[in-house]
Amino acid sequence: MNDEAPRSWGGTFALSLAFPAAALVAAALVFATSSFEAGLVFGVIAALVPWALIAGDIRVPPWIMVVAGVGIPGAVVIVYDAAGANFLALLAVAWLAASGESLAAEVVAAVGTIAIPIVYAVGDWDEEGEAVVYFGTGVLITWFIGRIIRRERELVAALTEAQDRLQLAATAAERQRIARDVHDVVGHSLTVMLLNVTGARRVLDSDPAAAADALDRAEQAGRGSLQSVRAIVGLLHSPDEAGTQSPQPGAADIVDLVDTAAAAGQPVRAEVLGDLRAVDPYTGLAAYRLVQEALANVEHHAPGSDVVVRVVMNGARLSVSVRNGPARRTSPPTAGRGGTGLDGMHQRVAAVGGTVSAGPEGDGWVVEGSMPLDRTEAIARPDGRA
């Protein structure tokens, strides 16, 4: 549970400490306003027993509180003319209403408490009539206060539960985001590495120098992938360690991404219109991952095809498209299996208020994304529509 979860002012403190403390004050009032008699002392002590158990964090059944918390103080009032014991009965009514364990016990306690001054005043109703009315009103007020405390505790419990659910949902969403990042980084890097290794194998005998260069690029891609994965996993560290992590790529890094793929042997070129350095980091990261995943998908499903990556800043939005032609080589055996790439694209772009579409175009395939340059638009229009 979150350490900063809301706390109930009518919670453990009020029911386990404040109520027993108030009962002690009421008992002191009884002794201060009445003459000492053995039966009176014994009765007050008996009435304090349930409060001592509550202070000791021992559960007291509601009917025990009705008998000891209300009945005994009532008997003390009637037998020893100790009006101060009325406050002990009122406290018991409030506690029962606040704990909410038994509605029947609450009703019995309230009726019994109201009956105390009636029985006490039955001998001379004219003089004590007002006292009966005042005390009955006090019982109702006390009962309502207990109910208010109970309601407040229930609301705090519901809020705490909702807060815990939100925290679990946020944790799950963060895990999904990190999984998408790892998928994008590793998928693209492996594609680049395989392209370079394939190229090196083909020219190993005829051009050892070119093969060495290709293997070097494969090594650099692997090292870059490892560094990126470490940076992503580093997001799981504590906040004071976050400053040591490598920055996430942005829109301005798309050109380098395309150049890396082209150097690995993928026939791809970039067309950029606008200053991509001005793109919001979150939007830029979404655009970068879209292009990264699209290039990896092209190599898996249409290897050797010509690819054009176009990034355009158009007004208040950033448009990204990745178009490829027909495959020039046979796809690997695993290329036909479904993956999570397109779903990851949609989720990542939707998180910044954008949209993604993917489908056939002519004899090739196109992936298009549109994202707001201002993240406030993503907040105002979470559906991502322009």
| Triad 181, 184, 190: Cα angle to 5° | 130
Residue 369, both tokens: 């994304």
Residue with tokens 């001592």: 52
Within 10 A of 229 (CB to CB), how many other CB atoms are there? 16
- Residue 316, classed as helix, strand or coil, is coil
The β-bridge relationship of strands 307-314 and 268-273 is: parallel
Q: 24 Cβ partners below 8 Å, 6+ apart?
A: 48, 51
In a domain, 141, yes or no: yes
d(C-alpha 266, C-alpha 194), whole Å: 11
φ and ψ of 92, to 5 deg: -65, -40
Q: Is the pLDDT of residue 125 over 60?
A: no
pLDDT computed for residue 323 by the predictor: 93
- Rounded to an integer, what distance in angstroms lies between the CA atom of residue 270 and that of residue 310? 6
Which of 105, 132, 163 marks a domain boundary? 163
- Structural Rg of the chain based on CA atoms: 38
Find the range with the poorest average confidence among 30-39, 154-163, 185-194, 376-385: 376-385
pLDDT digits (tens, 9 = 90+) for 51-60: 888 888 788 8
CA distance 295 to 355: 18
User: For residue 309, is pLDDT > 60?
Assistant: yes
The reply to whether 226 falls in a domain is no
Output the furthest CA–CA distance in the chain (Å, rounded).
122
The answer to whether 258 and 268 have CB atoms below 8 angstroms apart is yes
| Structure confidence by residue, pLDDT tens digits, 160-202 | 888 878 877 776 776 676 666 666 666 666 677 777 777 777 7
Domain assignment present for residue 315? The answer is yes
- pLDDT tens digits for 315-326? 889 999 999 988
Decide: pTM greater than 0.75.
Answer: no
Q: What is the separation of C-alpha 30 from the centre of its chain, rounded to a whole number of angstroms? A: 51
In order, the DSSP letters of 247-297 are PPP-GGGHHHHHHHHHHTT--EEEEEES-GGGS-HHHHHHHHHHHHHHHHH
152, 258: one domain: no
DSSP-assigned beta bridge partners for residue 318: 313, 371
153 and 296 fall within a common domain: no
**Mean pLDDT of all residues in 38-43:** 86
- Of 112, 131, 163, the last residue of a domain is 163
Q: In the numeric block, which tokens belong to residue 267?
A: 């026939």
Coil vs helix vs strand at 67: helix
What does the alpha-carbon distance between residue 294 and residue 301 come to, in Å, rounded to a whole number? 10
SS3 4: coil
Residue 72 neighbours by CB under 8 Å, 6+ apart: 43, 46, 47
- Whether 351 is covered by a domain: the verdict is yes
The answer to whether position 82 is within a domain reads yes
Q: Is the pLDDT of residue 10 over 60?
A: no
Note whether residue 277 is domain-resident: yes
Average confidence score pLDDT of the chain = 76
Domain shared by 147 and 254, yes or no: no
Q: Flag whether 335 is in a domain.
A: yes
pLDDT digits (tens, 9 = 90+) for 245-259: 556 788 899 998 898
* Residues of the domain holding 371: 250-386
Question: Parallel, antiparallel, or unpaired for β 355-361 and 317-324?
Answer: unpaired
Strand 364-372 vs strand 355-361: parallel, antiparallel, or unpaired?
antiparallel
Q: How many domains is the chain built from?
A: 2
Give the separation between CA 153 and CA 157, rounded to whole angstroms: 6
Of 143, 163, 183, the position where a domain reaches its end is 163
Cβ partners under 8 Å of residue 262, min gap 6: 268, 269
Contact between 330 and 291 under an 8 Å Cβ cutoff? The reply is no
Residue among 242, 240, 239 at smallest CA distance from 231: 242
